[in-house]
Amino acid sequence: MMPLDAIAALFPDLEPAELSVWIERRWVQPERAADGQWLFQEIDVARVRLVYDLRHQLGVHDEVVPLVLSLLDQVYELRCTLKAMNEALSAQPPEVQAAVLAAVAGRSRQAE
């Protein structure tokens, strides 16, 4: 886990007040230590980097950030679900795998 000052070192032009706003808005959700300090796990650091890029590199406005984060979270959840489904399908007998793949291919052709 990383303390707030380590985050500040990674993003020297990110003001602590701005990061505090991100935490208040729950765009970033670090843990609180017993002494009240914020502790950032690796995933929190990645989220800070994402929000930083949205705000500082891409110029995304504050009111749009929650929408972008929500959509990215949904994509992440979808990827996790697809990975789990792929692993479950891979554990099935070949005839089950073939039947599922044929059904998916049939639906893809119908969508065209």
Please give the Cα distance from 43 to 73 (Å, whole number): 13
Q: Is the pLDDT of residue 111 over 80?
A: no
pLDDT of residue 108: 75
What pLDDT was estimated at residue 91? 97
Q: With a cut of 90, say whether residue 92 has pLDDT above it.
A: yes
Matching CATH number, 1-60, of 3.30.420, 2.170.150, 2.60.40, 1.10.1660: 1.10.1660
Going from N- to C-terminal start, the domains of the chain cover 1-60, 63-112
Q: What pLDDT is attached to residue 55?
A: 96
Count how many Cα atoms sit within 13 Å of the Cα of residue 62 in the half-sphere of its side chain.
7
Q: Which pLDDT belongs to residue 8?
A: 85
pLDDT of 35-83, one tens digit each?
999 999 999 999 999 999 999 999 999 999 999 999 999 999 999 999 9
Percent of the chain's residues with pLDDT above 70 = 98
Please give the C-alpha separations between residue 39 and each of 1, 22, 70, 73, in angstroms, as whole numbers: 6, 14, 23, 21
* Mean pLDDT over the full length of the chain: 94
pLDDT at 4: 87
pLDDT of residue 107: 80
10-31 pLDDT tens trace: 998 999 999 999 999 999 999 9
